[in-house]
Structures are given as C-alpha cells and as structure tokens.
Amino acid sequence: MKLYGSLTSPYVRKVRVLVREKNLACEFILADAWAADSPIPPLNPLGKVPALVLDNGEVLFDSPVIVEYLDSLKAPPLLPASGEARWQALRWQALADGVLDAVVSRLLESRRPAAQQSAETIPRQEAKIARALEYADHHLSNGPWLMSDRFTVADLAVAVALEYIDFRYPHDWRGRHPRLGEWCAGIGARPAFVETRPPGMEQK
Ligand SMILES: N[C@@H](CCC(=O)N[C@@H](CS)C(=O)NCC(=O)O)C(=O)O
C-alpha cells in the first residue's frame, strides 16, 4: 500500500498515526496537493490528500474512509465494530474533522490579502473551534481515553485536531480547558504522535 500526503496535513497525520499505532506496512509518499504537477488529482478527483493506493491498484480517499479501511486490516480495532460505541467514536471523529476543516478554512482566509478577507469568515470559524473545544472538555472522561478502557479512533482524531490548533491557530485554549490540555499531552506523548508531528512543531 502507498499513502500519498504531506507532512503538515492533519488529515494525512490521522492516517499516519493509525499506520504507526497498528504497525501496518504502508509506504508514505510525499505529495503536494496544491502543486501544478501534483500526482493527486489522477488518484483522487477531489484533488486532496490523503489518498491511499491499495496493492490491487484501487484508491481510497477521505481520511475517515482510509482510517476505517486500514483499521479493518488488523486487530484490535480502534473503531468499535457496532453499537453505541461505534456511533460515539464516529461522532468524536466527526467533531475532530470538523475542527480541522474550521482551522484550515480560517488559515486560508487569513492568508488572503487583508482587503479581500470577509469580515465574517475568521470569527465564524473561531467560534466553531471554541464550541468544539467546549464540547470535548464537557464530554471528557476521568481516565486517559475518551471512550472505554483503551485507545480508540476517538483519541486519535481528537488529539490530532487539538495539536493542529496549536500548529495553525496557536492560542491559549489550555488556559480555558486545562483538563483537555492534560488529556492531549497524554495522548500526544505516544510514539505514533511524536513521530508524525509536523516539522518544527513541539509538543505542548
Ligand atoms: N475530508 C478530507 C479533507 C482532506 C483535505 O482537505 N486535505 C487538504 C490538505 S490539509 C488538501 O489536500 N487540500 C487540497 C485542496 O483542497 O485542493 C479528508 O478527511 O481526507
């Protein structure tokens, strides 16, 4: 299998963390989705990374799809197979992916010339991020994991999202949510997180 992506994309990082956590054989191929000669559009019509090329030539895209596929290859599952636990895990992942979307959207808007920026976009995305942090803090368990008694896709996705906030929208969210900050530090110390942190980014 070949995973195409960049070192800074948080969607790619979700997949890289899972590959490392499950010790799967998967080659990582650096690819810039924005480059004029990018190899991505022929693989993913949406032109986005991550894209996963399987050994039979099939291509999977969209990080939740890739995460679920790779998770299915080797036990124990990080995504619960059925029942309430599955919906809860998928909801955590949706929350985390929504935070990534909001941080990316905020970042792209902030990079536009000031005169062309919309007055609403940045505050609107920041409000989504603030509400998601509130939600995560409110639904935090007392233990090291968001769900059950072990590391799941919920922990993976939410910790990647929190660290992406640090990377692209640095602000003192830990001051408001210290328990969430402590939880994130615990997950972020796992080797899979340490090894996939974007270049130049330190753990908080
Ligand atoms: N929903 C997608 C989002 C992927 C995504 O937006 N990737 C960004 C990199 S961070 C990208 O490739 N952007 C290029 C573009 O939008 O043209 C996923 O979860 O995989």
pLDDT tens-place string over residues 92-115: 999 999 999 999 999 999 999 999
* Atom 12 in ligand 1: residue holding the nearest Cα: 48
**Of ligand 1's atoms, which has the minimum distance to the CA of residue 66?**
20
Shared domain check, 151 and 93: yes
pLDDT, position 148: 84
* Atom 14 in ligand 1: residue holding the nearest Cα: 48
Residue 203 has pLDDT above 90, yes or no: no
Per the domain annotation, does 127 fall within a domain?
yes
Nearest to 164 by CA among 192, 135, 134, 203: 203
Shared domain check, 190 and 89: yes
What lines the ligand 1 site, CB under 6 Å? 9, 11, 33-34, 47-50, 62-63, 97, 104
Here the CATH number for the domain that contains residue 157 is 1.20.1050.10
pLDDT tens-place string over residues 186-197: 999 999 999 999
**Of ligand 1's atoms, which has the minimum distance to the CA of residue 64?**
19
What is the Å distance from ligand 1's center to 64 Cα?
A: 12
Shared domain check, 113 and 90: yes
200 — pLDDT class (breaks 50, 70, 90): confident
Here the CATH number for the domain that contains residue 42 is 3.40.30.10
The residue range of the domain holding 109 is: 83-194
Q: Which of 72, 100, 133 is the last residue of a domain?
A: 72
- Total tally of structural domains belonging to the chain: 2
Shared domain check, 128 and 188: yes
Q: Is 168 exposed, middle or buried (0-12, 13-18, 19+ CB in 10 A)?
A: middle
pTM above 0.85, yes or no: yes
